[in-house]
A and B are shown apart, each in its own frame.
Chain A
């Protein structure tokens, strides 16, 4: 039988694919949507039941033949189903595409079920969710095996086997264990991939016997059970102890997903970088490096539904020979207005790229995204852009005019068009070391940290440019404020950058002293190994020199080990160049001497008080090293009145963002589950609408554009973000008039340090005994020392 033939084949019936199909139907292009699942929009089908789907970004108009507005998941899905019918979009379900060959005009697509078809063009709208890994065992295809859990409440008094060792498996198992018998099957001996908070919860539940866990175990076989048995299915579990058979009602396999990238690359599509979250290399019309093959939606790096739908529409218009401006064009135009001066948007973007070397290597599409996420600001002459000591959440590029950076020592630095600033704070996650003031006719591009970090992760050119600027500026600011530019550049080319993950060492006791390390981000503890383990003697935060005390003249090897408490990043210069500089620069000599004295005294004090070292280790092992503001309760003072939680709930729509009882304790210091306002907030890493921000005082907070996707909850290693329904407040009078609060959407909620209250965090100010305080990681050594001497 000859293969069927189409003008376009669209892979994936998510919002992007559906919108493209609807447009193709309107344009009378012969088309087919190939969808792996049994229903349309698999990703949305898997949202939690009744989830409120948001239509961010608010400013962006929707351009599609299928309707979409914010509303319940069920309503959105129904709307799309109606849209499919009305527009006569052609979809083939359960048609996973496994291979694509051929070229523009004659692609050949092979389906999993063995069929094949031909298409002139291919549009990939596969999303990023990937296909869930299935249980590849006999019986794995039975209906009792599922790869997702919609609602744990749906099952009661069943025996359920959960397979997997990641967060999803643990969370499902714990939720199901409330009213079912649950056996968690883990292939390994522990849970290295899961978050600490989940492992703790699981361990507790296991200790209390609320569920079972089989380690080094695997499902061998699933089959229907004999008629008289307690449950409809039978599962054979293999483990080192041997095989056993369990009667069960269902098996939930949470084995992760197979990311679509491998498949996409196998067709020949080039990605911009090797890192996992890199996006494919696309033209402004979303055409990939394979001519005739287009990529849209989440896979193209657009994480929101509305964007995905707009792209579906645009790509079909392009294919049918009707080039249109992208839907975000007016938004972009409005953004760029101060810079346009009669130019076209595209020309203006080019202009920015010509001026700003950071972005010189970006593709047009990435450049659009960047500017859409950024702001153009025009501060008046003399306005302070940021002050020294402010936390920042953006990086700036000078587009026009001048900016003056004012350091403590040395000349103020003058920046001109094209130059970048705010990069120190971007890398260290700490407050600005220097202030910035606008010069005459100043125009700046202000880009949020999240956007620029993502760009730096996926675009090597951006990454290396920022690093180069950082090295020069850091050397100048922190080491050699009075040196000539040539000296610094000579040094900078020899500087190295070291990235270490938590628990790894920068150097160890006994290593030769051959480099001087400056910590760029994260923190390290310096310790002297003792018989009972590490004995910490000092803590170094980003922006400090590591172990200068050890670098006294004549010293040959390190007396301490420098170990990262969280992922850290250091800059180093070789010791010889440093010594040379030292001998010729008196100011530097003085500076180094002061630091040496301070560090040496600090080591000795800590050494004399080993308990303080223990407290420090405890705090560090729970991530306090990256906190800018962490709640610490003194158990000797806490009377358990829960005023702190009450205060939190009262000031935050009735939902407390703090759990006083949860969390570890040591030496009667207690770290409740509450946001630490990390230096590099993990939660900000992957927020589709960029709803998480940081204020100048350091508060990390979530604004009301949150779409409730749960990414931040997953990324936070401290388990402090909850997905909660924040009820609408309705006044008593309105209630009496019969108004009821609208049904609330589940969104991410967390501590915002009571940013809107003048009195500061309510938990602290409500504590009657002074047990609750919030401290910065820098105060940790002081805390450890007072604690060690206070404990009776």
Chain B
């Protein structure tokens, strides 16, 4: 049977229980984790630091060089190291050191606490030097972290709602069903329209590179044949929201002489409009999913930068005092 190692509370300082198999019943987000345990801890830490600083500031003005400055600085540095350890925990899947959600909860609350403690530590002494650059980097890491928390808390729900409770797979299947219907409908019409619809389907664009995903714009295009000069002069134009296709179908519909022909076109128009909505939804979904991940690509490099700056800051303090 499973045991949890007694060593771990020592190695993972902020882990008190949590074996992942305990009586943790229902879903609990990293924000609410164990009744905001780490939030309470972080607030207490900050309050303690603020009160001590206030008391101490009557004795001498706050800066990094006082005994309190050293203490706060050490706490902040240790906390930053602990925060960076989360990156290690995230990659060690066999780790018995508590659940990732618990770690993230601690990470987020203590991350904000670091901001407060480091500010008190520096005593608002800024300048154009390595010390301030370490502070600024920390600020940026924290800001990106807060952005991440916002994104995690808000986007999943948003994505469910905007997909209308279906999964992305279902939407993709609906898309291919619509395409099939369009092909079937147009197969009874003339060849020009057939190639038009085929082109619109072929050049429907979802996702793409990083920027395309994040901007979430519909980059679908369509090939417009040049009736006079032939295929080499065909143009590719944007078909955002299927509007070029819809416009063309509407024109044909207006010019239709036969009722059955018009009815087919009407159906095609509906299919194209449905598809436009669906593509929009999928595009948005891809965008939100991209945003859910993108911020971490700012957070992580900034974090490395911060660790480097921190080392320089500490060395500088001790070597060139």
Contacts and interface: CB of A to CB of B under 8 A. Distances in A.
A760 B155 contact: no
Interface string B89-110: 0100111111111011000000
Find the residue from B90, B93, B180, B289 having the highest chain A CB count within 10 A.
B93
Contact of A760 (B2, B97, B104): B2
Contact of A639 (B1, B4, B24, B155): B155
B251 interface: no
Contacts of A48: none
Contacts of B28: 770
B95 A759 contact: yes
Contacts of B167: 661, 665
B100 A766 contact: yes
Interface stretch (B39-47, B169-177, B231-239): B169-177
Find the residue from B27, B156, B165 having the highest chain A CB count within 10 A.
B27
B20 A769 contact: no
Contacts of B30: 768-770
A769 B26 contact: no
A650 B93 contact: yes
A641 interface: yes
B94 A757 contact: yes
A760 B20 contact: yes
B21 interface: yes
B157 interface: yes
B11 interface: no
Nearest to A664: B167
A661 B1 contact: no
Interface stretch (A404-412, A550-558, A779-787): A779-787
Nearest to A640: B289
A770 B177 contact: no
A334 B26 CA distance: 49
B259 interface: no
A637 B29 contact: yes
B160 interface: yes
Interface in A302-318: none
Interface stretch (A30-38, A204-212, A255-263): A204-212
B156 A761 contact: no
A638 B180 contact: no
A771 interface: yes
A651 B30 CA distance: 23
A782 B177 CA distance: 39
A668 B160 contact: yes
B27 A761 contact: no
Given A208-B177, A647-B93, A770-B29, A697 B156 contact: no
Interface string A661-681: 100010010000000000000
B135 to A, nearest CB: 27
Nearest to A670: B167
Interface in A739-791: 755, 757-762, 764-771, 773, 775, 779, 782-783, 786
B196 interface: no
A101 to B, nearest CB: 58
A697 B2 contact: yes
B51 interface: no
A641 B91 CA distance: 13
B25 A768 contact: no
Contacts of A28: none
B156 A635 contact: yes
A770 B173 contact: no
B5 interface: yes
B152 interface: yes
Interface string B161-199: 000010101000100110010000000000000000000
Find the residue from A634, A635, A766 having the highest chain B CB count within 10 A.
A766
Dominant SS among interface residues on chain B: loop
B26 A758 contact: no
A639 B176 contact: no
Contacts of B19: 758-760
A722 interface: no
A767 B19 CA distance: 14
A761 B157 contact: no
Nearest to A632: B27
A414 B176 CA distance: 68
B93 A635 contact: no
Contacts of B160: 635-636, 668
The contact size tier of chain A is 35 or more
A782 B293 contact: no
A765 B176 contact: no
A758 B4 CA distance: 6
A779 B23 CA distance: 11
Contact of A779 (B1, B25, B98): B25
A632 B24 CA distance: 13
A168 to B, nearest CB: 25
A757 B95 CA distance: 8
Interface residues of B, number: 43
Contacts of A764: 20, 99
Contacts of B157: 636, 668, 792
A204 B5 contact: no
A640 B152 CA distance: 10
Given A773-B27, A779-B25, A759 B96 contact: yes
A646 B2 contact: no
A102 interface: no
B156 A651 contact: no
Given A643-B90, A759-B19, A759-B96, A769 B101 contact: yes
A656 to B, nearest CB: 11
A778 to B, nearest CB: 10
Given A639-B292, A769-B29, A759 B169 contact: no
A188 interface: no
B20 A775 contact: no
Contacts of A209: 176-177, 180
Contacts of A731: none
B1 A697 contact: yes
B3 interface: yes
A696 interface: yes
Contacts of A632: 27
Contacts of B104: 768-769
Interface string A608-648: 00000000000000000000000010111111110100110
A204 B173 contact: yes
Given A635-B160, A637-B27, A668-B160, A769 B152 contact: yes
B33 interface: yes
Interface in B1-24: 1-5, 19-21, 24
Nearest to A639: B292
Nearest to A770: B101
A758 B5 contact: yes
Interface string B122-133: 000000000000
Given A207-B173, A761-B21, A638 B156 contact: yes
Given A209-B176, A650-B93, A759 B20 contact: yes
A651 B96 CA distance: 12
A767 B156 CA distance: 14
Nearest to B180: A209
A627 to B, nearest CB: 15
B93 A651 contact: yes
Contact of B96 (A697, A758, A771): A758
6 contacts: A639-B292, A647-B93, A757-B94, A760-B2, A770-B27, A786-B27
Interface of A: 204, 207-209, 632, 634-641, 643, 646-647, 650-651, 661, 665, 668, 695-697, 755, 757-762, 764-771, 773, 775, 779, 782-783, 786, 792
Interface of B: 1-5, 19-21, 24-30, 33, 90, 93-101, 103-104, 152, 155-157, 160, 165, 167, 169, 173, 176-177, 180, 289, 292-293
Given A755-B2, A758-B96, 14 more contacts: A204-B169, A209-B177, A637-B27, A637-B156, A640-B156, A640-B289, A650-B93, A651-B93, A661-B167, A759-B99, A765-B95, A768-B30, A770-B101, A792-B157
- Which 5 A-B pairs give the minimum distances between C-beta atoms? A760-B21, A760-B20, A770-B101, A765-B20, A634-B27
